A and B are shown apart, each in its own frame.
Chain A
């Protein structure tokens, strides 16, 4: 075969490791740019909400974190499906690398929600459908991390964790649609593909923050994946070369 660009080449940790190392700074840089722009729009430019006053500005953290918490779980389940179907090594590492970030996002979403809920609803926590299902999502992340941590054999940990991810993925649509299915306290979504009920600047601020969170998650997950690779492949020559040679 000719020296054509081949995506599958990066399915091997030895080739993916330097690629990830080269990409991480870019993702971080883009995250910072999006984050600064989003914060500027959200905190300084966006108008004060006529109902919620200044307190609504927490959505610039809350909504992106909630989106990411669900999206990361879907991505992990996707990696799990690929890993179980094609028996690839990298997919299990990626799923494990994503899990702590996903758990962090779920926690952030619950925490900022509580901070917002106290002044707006008068309660830190309400047993509403969306809050409860997001809490379950956090439990699922914790369960996944506990399961993979309890299994010493890395291959078995990947597969068992992957199966758990696929079983738990049922929860994601429940969270997503919970606001529609149960008319509880949590407000419905204000953003929609076709129209949005928010001021233009608010929407852009939120989308930019979402992009920032997204890029940050990728960068952190890649960093964690690199560490996992070194740990798992420590018996191989390329890891020895990386660790002694000090190259990227």
Chain B
């Protein structure tokens, strides 16, 4: 079981490494969107500190969404996906591998660069730490839930816009608790409660979402 998941992760990572431009562009999208906010709302440090958690999280959501269509589209186009669906392993495990690989190339870089962007917003060291932790903890849920949307919109016209319409409402709990954790740290309340809820959402969605996505893929491949 683990072997299939590892094999899929290895394959997807290798494919991602062959096209590094895709990863880098999503990352730069994140950086640019976050950097636009101080320009748009003015440079007062107090205001920026207050806005930082929300801005960073919303940008992370959008950046994740940007890379979602690629999750299945390339494999669908060249027929790999059908082969994977025909293979004797449960498709859910394959999707789990793809979700983990997606997180490694999209979520993890976001978490690594988030503290640098947090400095732009004059966040304290504590808040930066919680921010990084929250994004690390929350982005797997984004990849998992996003996989359902990506599978449902596979091969549809206008799939990208539709994907955002389907996935963003489902992302809202992650946004609320992720930004809430940083906010609670900034105001000195402690973000542990938010972080544990975030962890619960992540475990639930990484556990269940691949199976829902697998069902959606089977519908799309019919």
Given that A147-B153, A147-B162, A167-B212 are contacting pairs, would A140 and B219 also be in contact in the complex, using a CB cutoff of 8 Å?
no
- The reply to whether A142 and B219 form a contact with Cβ atoms under 8 Å apart is no
Query: Are the CB atoms of A160 and B216 closer together than 8 Å?
Result: yes
Contact present for A163 and B165 (CB under 8 Å): no
Kindly identify, within residues 137 to 188 of chain B, every residue whose CB is under 8 Å from any CB belonging to chain A.
Answer: 148, 152-153, 156-159, 162, 165-166, 168-170, 172-173
Cβ of B65 to closest chain A Cβ, rounded Å:
13
Mask, A143-157, CB within 8 Å of B = 1, is: 100110011000110
Q: Is the interface of B mostly helix, strand, loop or mixed?
A: helix
Question: Please, how many residues of chain A have a CB less than 8 angstroms from a CB on the other chain?
Answer: 22
Report the separation of the CA atoms of residues A166 and B148 in the bound assembly, to the nearest whole angstrom.
Answer: 11
B215 proximal to A (CB < 8 A): yes
Indicate which residue in B168, B169, B215, B222 contacts A156 across the interface (CB closer than 8 Å): B222
Could you say which of A155, A163, A174 contacts B215, with CB atoms under 8 Å apart?
A163
Contacting pair A160 B219 (CB below 8 A): yes
Contact with A along B43-82 (1 / 0, CB 8 A): 0000000000000000000000000000000000000000
Chain A residue with minimal CB distance to B212? A167
A164 with B219: CB separation less than 8 A: no
Question: Across the interface, which residues of B come within 8 angstroms of A89, CB to CB?
Answer: none
When chains A and B are docked, how far (Å) is the Cα of A103 from the Cα of B212? 24
In the assembled complex, how far is the CB of residue B192 from the closest CB belonging to chain A, in whole angstroms?
Answer: 18
Using CB atoms, name the residue of chain B closest to A153.
Answer: B222
Q: Which of B156, B169, B222 contacts A136 (CB 8 A)?
A: B169
**B220 to chain A: which residues have CB within 8 Å?**
156, 160
Does chain B have a CB within 8 A of A159?
Answer: yes
Contacts of A142 in B (CB 8 A): 165
Q: How far in angstroms is the closest Cβ of chain B from A1?
A: 33
Determine whether the beta carbon of A136 is less than 8 Å from that of B215: no
B 113-149 binary contact with A (CB < 8 Å = 1; else 0): 0000000000000000000000000000000000010
Nearest-Cβ distance from residue B56 to partner chain A, whole angstroms? 19
Cα of A90 to Cα of B162 in the assembled complex, Å: 25
> Beyond A139-B169, A147-B152, A160-B219: 20 further Cβ-contacts under 8 Å?
A84-B215, A132-B172, A136-B172, A140-B169, A143-B169, A146-B165, A147-B153, A150-B159, A151-B156, A156-B219, A160-B152, A160-B216, A163-B215, A163-B216, A163-B219, A164-B152, A164-B166, A166-B212, A168-B169, A171-B169
